[in-house]
A and B are shown apart, each in its own frame.
Chain A
């Protein structure tokens, strides 16, 4: 079941029709005058919780606010038999089979811990006021954000400590305000910022000993490390809401705009893992996942045309079947009809391209977020 924008649409048919026709123009005229790729300004701060490994808070201008705390705990790993068991022991043991080391590296392809991470090492919990933990909305949001996070880069591999222990990452996402709008982009941005600021204490022990860490927090390493110039090598993913009306693709939709959308996608993008990043590469970003979201417009009742409205001199249909039949034949300007049918493939392709291309929207968003200093 696809997730849906849970808030009910409280707009009259005349308003829906006005909004829809405004957004279907080219270029679209949005109710607040923004361009189709313009985002609303937001307030963001990171590293605000001293007790957490990483944290962030983001406020959107429509009044919604979210806070995310990232905590890491050392956990004992389950013992797993692996195919490269023999080789694995070799590289772990140290002075045994030194001549096999190079081969071992090639076969299992690891520099410490590569490929050994597990999906269960990252756990996300989302709290939205007014919803229980097992309601559909928090569960779907958690699933979408987790899948994007685990698909991107080698986060889980960085959580590996040694064969017996690993870091378990707990991300607690709290929506502080009421869900006035679909919370996905807000929560995703806040999680992104929290992960960017997250640090893990430096490991002092060697290899497979019980882990011992440096007490000096200044020596800790960022979960998403930076190179010597301070530029981040890798970034957590971000999920954006993209909607379409007619041929127009609109970003950062408000609740009213979502209410008249014909198609809504939640697109997750992350940094591409291929290196080196050539400046002439088509894009530095990778598409991680796309989820369709049921637009609330489909649940709205259709508007009544003047010809069917007794108050304006028309004839009201005798039964609801007649009403439907009359509406089918009618293509009236100014009357709201909830959208029907699916999304065209060309449209989906266009939406993805606008997000992922070089100089596209996702790059702008990620660069903007990177500029938020703790």
Chain B
């Protein structure tokens, strides 16, 4: 599917009217950039099932400033964090363009079944084009906010953002919170506390 526009937010594809049943303007999706045309528009592919519409979570945009910071190219850009405080599993998608998606992990329905290439349509769950969020618990939301804060702290302090650093920052933030003791909702990781997290 060729889509004009170079950023992850979709613009209307004038010819492909059928796409409106799946995506509308303003949706957020993760895709692979196949090629970039000279006029700046990009060709985005959502071939694999791990690409597509994003929901159940929160978006952040970080820029590559701070000298050496930002999202760097790595082996894994999509990973899952098992969170503390009963938050369950949280997916993190790091885009090299600086766009980051943190969301609750939703088990695909096909887990445990064998999926062959020719039968890939059967494994497509009905919810991949859904705009509706599932029920998300408070602890999960808090952990999503915490991970967002970790990533923000990494960027503010010029540290590269990849899976390894995010995991370490997350664990460090749990330690910092344990040290601080009381102040349950004081999870703000900007400024001073962010720096301490990064130093660890």
Contacts and interface: CB of A to CB of B under 8 A. Distances in A.
B129 A335 contact: no
A238 B177 CA distance: 33
Interface stretch (A33-41, A92-100, A105-113, A361-369): A33-41
The contact size tier of chain B is 35 or more
Interface of B is mostly: loop
B133 A21 contact: yes
Contacts of A335: 131-133
A225 B138 CA distance: 49
B105 to A, nearest CB: 14
Nearest to B192: A41
Contacts of A30: 145
A132 to B, nearest CB: 28
A334 B132 contact: yes
Nearest to A36: B185
A29 B132 contact: no
Interface in B1-30: 9, 21-22, 24, 26-28
Contacts of B58: 15, 18-19, 22, 31
A309 B129 contact: yes
Given A15-B59, A32-B148, A22 B141 contact: yes
A305 B145 CA distance: 25
B87 to A, nearest CB: 11
Contacts of A40: 190
A34 B54 CA distance: 24
A339 interface: no
B149 A334 contact: no
Given A17-B133, A18-B56, A332-B132, A12 B26 contact: yes
A312 B28 contact: no
A34 B135 contact: no
B77 interface: no
A374 interface: no
Interface string A1-45: 000000000111111011101100101011111110010110000
9 contacts: A10-B9, A12-B55, A14-B28, A18-B56, A31-B60, A38-B186, A306-B127, A306-B130, A335-B131
Interface of A: 10-15, 17-19, 21-22, 25, 27, 29-35, 38, 40-41, 61, 300-301, 303-306, 309-313, 316, 332-336
